[in-house]
Structure 1
Amino acid sequence: MDCRNQTLVTELFFVGLTNLFQHEVALFLVFLFVYLVSVLGNLGMITLIWMDSRLHTPMYFFLSHLSFVDVCSSSAISPKMLTDIFVEKKVINFFGCAAQLWLFGHFVVTECFLLAAMAYDRYMAICKPLLYTLIMSQQVCVQLVVGPYAVGLISTMTHPTFTFCLPYCGPNIINHFFCDLLPVLSLACADTHINKRLLFILAGALGVLSGVIILVSYMYIVIAILRIHSADGRHKAFSTCSSHLMAVSILYGTLFFTYVCPSSSFSLDINKVVSLFYTAVIHMLNPLIYSLRNKEVKDSFRRKFERKKFLIAR
């Protein structure tokens, strides 16, 4: 398409979630609650791990960074989404769209590889318990955390750069509530075949790599657990992995549904619902999963709460 005689688009407009006032009020209240629980839950988890010396282990070191990533990822989308609910013109400029796309993509990739690092940590704890403290030193843990941030940073620099180098001549309306890559690419007045192929290759490679690390780690973990003769021992070993498995299943399941399943198989409205789940709800679920299903976290919280009550009573 020849764009030379057309006005270049500098702003994008979101269709949003709904135009009915009753639905807008309900959605605002629900997702404000989800966002607040997500932020407070994850910051609470970080604070608890930082304050309790009993939780200064590799597992909780990774969990504190997972909580930090959840706060950042949720904050890249939810505040804008919440402010747009009651606004008639849900507008974002190209710079804001690029920043949102980059930030969210960066933290999603980082979270995938943090979960892979946590799977490797569980593998070392269960399969090589005698060497665990020696191998999972502070230096190794830092490297296993820096790696996901670096991979997320490098991988997500590619897509926004190539996406916003394309000409945009109109229309400029996105049937979504945030700047997701594929809806933005659909507005470009140029061939986006290379961009979509690059997205598929890079996202697929990152997803497969992190997924394989998790899968292989759990294959060895399952084999090690089956070799434990005691039923209590097997239950205890599996309980240390159950929260992580739930977090992995929820994140990878929603990402698979959104980016791997053919888009023509589902309506845009269904894709928006799924997007709501992995942009907002998952980040609220992670601290709940790790707090409600983790005895050490519950015990730590109980100790802090009882100590606070004791100090107040005095």
Structure 2
Amino acid sequence: MKKIAVLTSGGDAPGMNAAVRAVVRKGIYEGLQIAGVYNGYQGLIQGKIEQLELGSVGDIIQRGGTMLRSARSPEFMTEEGRAEAVRQLHANGIDGLVVIGGDGSFRGAYELVKLGIPCVCVPATIDNDINGTQFTIGFDSALNTVIDAIDKIRDTATSHERTFIIEVMGRDAGDLALWSGLAGGAETILIPEEGFAIDEIITRLQSGSGRGKKHSIIIVAEGVMTGSALAEVLKEKAGIETRVSVLGHIQRGGSPSARDRVIASQYGARAVEVLCEGRSGIAIGMQNNMVVDYDLDVVFNPSDHTFDKQLYKLSKELSI
């Protein structure tokens, strides 16, 4: 390896910049040239590639979003688009690529691997839905944003003695809802991995009201249903009036937490090491508080997706 490139793709996540910084500075430390690809895979096809130096990534570790920016690329989904991406990499003398992003970004890297481009992937998504790693970059920051919102909404819920439904992101994974619901003291948490009975929710709300409880917080992951849809069901079946808050893209923004800055630095540096070892088709992650690397095949195996059942059980026990 003499020259490697780094790109960010998919939805932005707090900590992406810290990962880019780590790739650039670790690469230079190892004696490599580093290039930045702007606007993800679309920028790669268009040749938006620039040399990065130590100063290029100064003062970005604390910033949300991604300095390399991101974009959707329908063109990269075609054979012609991928062929052009490979041509651009070769034309710029790039020997390996670090891809920072989520599931879709990893699949794009996998296609490049099949075309002979050495790639290593760094998981960055607030959804925390990448198989093979316990934590993705951005999850902790988004979690803290959600918890802060829950705390503020609870103040209003208490003042007005109301039930609030808070809809959070997560796509088909319930980690953001589960962790924030437990940390925020929510009475009900709905996640895609576990079914639910609407009658049970109604009974829980009525039971709380019967013992003098003045408010309730329901956290619903977007992969289950929308907050407004749940509100309609509760009103129709039990006459329960609720207020709905959809946190939306506010969960993606803001300065990354200390934890996200640290793991982003660890993941980015390890990605460079893996490329220098001559390996490809590898994902970086964390297991038992240790940074690990593993084959990309693991990421794409649906049977490998797990969630913390004990944490979900605990959330139900503590919300009685």
Q: TM-score range by the shorter chain?
A: under 0.3
**TM norm structure 2:** 0.27
- TM-score, scaled to structure 1: 0.27
Q: Higher helix fraction: Structure 1 or Structure 2?
A: 1
RCO comparison, higher one (Cα < 8 Å, 6+): 1
